[in-house]
A and B are shown apart, each in its own frame.
Chain A
Amino acid sequence: MTTTETHVIGQPRKRKEDARLITGQARWTDNITLPGMLHFALVRSPMAHAKISSVDVSAALQRPGVLAAFSGADLAADLGSLPCAWPVTPDMVHPDHHPLATDEVRYVGDAVAVVVARDRYAVADAIEAVEVDYEPLPAVVNMEEALKDEVLVHSQAGTNKCFVWPFDGGDYDAVKATADIVFKRRYVQQRLIPTAMEPRAVVVEPLAAAEEFTVYSTTQIPHILRVMLALTVGIPEQKLRVIAPDVGGGFGSKLNVYAEEVIALVLAKRLGRPVKWTESRSEGYQATIHGRDQIQDIEIAATKDGKLLGLSVDLKADMGAYLQLVTPGVPVLGAFMYNAIYKMDAYRFRCTGVFTTKTPTDAYRGAGRPEATYAIERAMSDLAHEIGKDPMQLRRENWITHEEFPFTTIAGLTYDSGDYEAATARSMELFGYDDLRREQAERRDRNDPVQLGIGISTFTEMCGLAPSRVLGSLSYGAGGWEAASIRMLPTGKVEVVTGTAPHGQGHVTSWSQIAADALGVPFEDVEVMHSDTRVAPMGMDTYGSRSLVVGGVAVHLAAQKVIEKAKKVAAHLLEAAESDIEFAAGTFSVKGSPDAKKTIQEISLATFAAHNFPDGVEPSLNSDAVLDPENFSFPHGTHLCAALVDTETGHTKIRSYVAVDDVGNVINPMIVEGQVHGGLAQGIAQALYEEAVYDDDGNLVTGTLVDYLVPAASDLPEFTTDRTVTPATSNPLGVKGVGEAGTIASTPAVVNAVVDALRPFGIDDIRMPCTPERVWRAIQDRSSGGDRSAEGTVAYGGTQTATTAGRDTEAGGGAQ
Chain B
Amino acid sequence: MTTIEMTVDGVRYQDEVEPRLLLVHYLRDRLGLGGTPIGCDTSNCGACTVQVDGVSAKSCTMLTVQADGSEIITIQGLAKDGRLHAVQQAFHDEHALQCGYCTPGMIMAAVDLLRENPDPSDQEIRDGLEGNLCRCTGYQNIVRAVHSAATTEARS
Please report A residues at the B interface, Cβ cutoff 8 Å: 12, 14-15, 17-19, 21-28, 30-31, 33, 119-121, 195-199, 246-249, 251, 280-282, 503-506, 670-671, 673-675, 677-682, 704-706, 710, 712-714, 716, 718-719, 742, 809, 811, 813-814, 816
Contact = CB atoms under 8 A, between A and B. Distances in A.
Nearest to A17: B100
Contacts of B39: 197-199, 281
Given A25-B76, A811-B41, A816 B22 contact: yes
Contacts of A714: 123, 126-127, 129-130
Contacts of A33: 29, 32
B138 A719 contact: yes
Given A22-B91, A678-B98, A816-B25, 12 more contacts: A30-B38, A33-B29, A33-B32, A119-B29, A120-B29, A197-B134, A248-B37, A248-B102, A249-B101, A249-B135, A282-B40, A674-B95
B95 A816 contact: no
A25 B35 contact: yes
Nearest to A12: B95
A12 B22 CA distance: 41
B31 to A, nearest CB: 12
B133 A712 contact: yes
Given A30-B37, A249-B135, A718-B122, A198 B101 contact: yes
B90 to A, nearest CB: 10
A195 B132 contact: no
B125 interface: yes
B54 interface: no
A26 B39 CA distance: 15
Contact of B22 (A22, A705, A814): A814
Nearest to A685: B135
Q: Which of B78, B97, B98 has the most CB of A within 10 A?
A: B98
B100 A504 contact: yes
Contacts of A27: 34
Interface string B116-145: 000000110111011111111111111100
Contacts of A17: 100
Nearest to A721: B140
A455 to B, nearest CB: 18
B138 to A, nearest CB: 4
Contact of A198 (B20, B22, B99, B125): B99
B91 A504 contact: no
Contacts of A706: 42, 44
A809 to B, nearest CB: 8
Interface in B36-72: 36-42, 44-45, 47, 60
A712 B132 contact: yes
Contact of A197 (B99, B131, B143): B99
B111 interface: no
Contacts, number: 204
Given A22-B107, A814-B22, A281 B76 contact: no
25 contacts: A18-B91, A22-B92, A22-B100, A23-B84, A24-B36, A24-B75, A24-B76, A25-B76, A196-B101, A197-B136, A247-B99, A248-B37, A281-B40, A281-B45, A504-B99, A674-B95, A674-B136, A681-B138, A704-B44, A705-B40, A710-B133, A710-B135, A712-B130, A718-B122, A816-B22
A503 B75 CA distance: 20
A285 to B, nearest CB: 10
Q: Which 7 A-B pairs have the closest CB atoms?
A: A24-B35, A248-B101, A21-B100, A504-B99, A677-B138, A681-B138, A31-B34
B72 to A, nearest CB: 13
A196 B99 contact: yes
B79 interface: yes
Contacts of A121: 18, 20-21, 25
B59 to A, nearest CB: 11
Interface of B: 18, 20-22, 24-25, 28-29, 32-42, 44-45, 47, 60, 74-76, 78-79, 84, 88, 91-93, 95, 97-104, 107, 122-123, 125-127, 129-143
A281 B41 contact: yes
Main secondary structure of the interface of B (DSSP, over half): loop
B54 to A, nearest CB: 19
A289 to B, nearest CB: 15
A435 B91 CA distance: 36
Contact of B133 (A671, A674, A705): A705
A739 B37 CA distance: 25
Contacts of A197: 39, 45, 47, 99, 101-102, 133-136
Nearest to B103: A21
Contact of B104 (A24, A506, A674): A24
A681 B139 CA distance: 8
Contacts of A251: 135
Nearest to B125: A713
Q: Which of A14, A199, A742 has the most CB of B within 10 A?
A: A199
A704 B142 contact: no
Nearest to A811: B41
Contacts of B100: 17-18, 21-22, 26, 246, 248, 504
Contacts of B36: 24
Contacts of A813: 20, 22
Contacts of B22: 813-814, 816
Contacts of B24: 816
A311 to B, nearest CB: 32
A705 B107 contact: no
A704 B135 contact: no
Contact of A22 (B101, B103, B141, B142): B103
Q: Which of A12, A21, A716, A813 has the most CB of B within 10 A?
A: A21
Given A24-B34, A718-B122, A713 B143 contact: yes
A246 B136 CA distance: 15
A680 B134 contact: no
B75 to A, nearest CB: 4
B106 to A, nearest CB: 9
B119 to A, nearest CB: 18
Contacts of A22: 75, 84, 88, 91-92, 97, 100, 103, 107
A409 to B, nearest CB: 30
Contact of A23 (B88, B95, B122, B141): B88
A15 B92 contact: yes
A488 B127 CA distance: 49
A503 B78 CA distance: 24
A120 B127 CA distance: 35
A28 B104 CA distance: 13
A680 B138 contact: yes
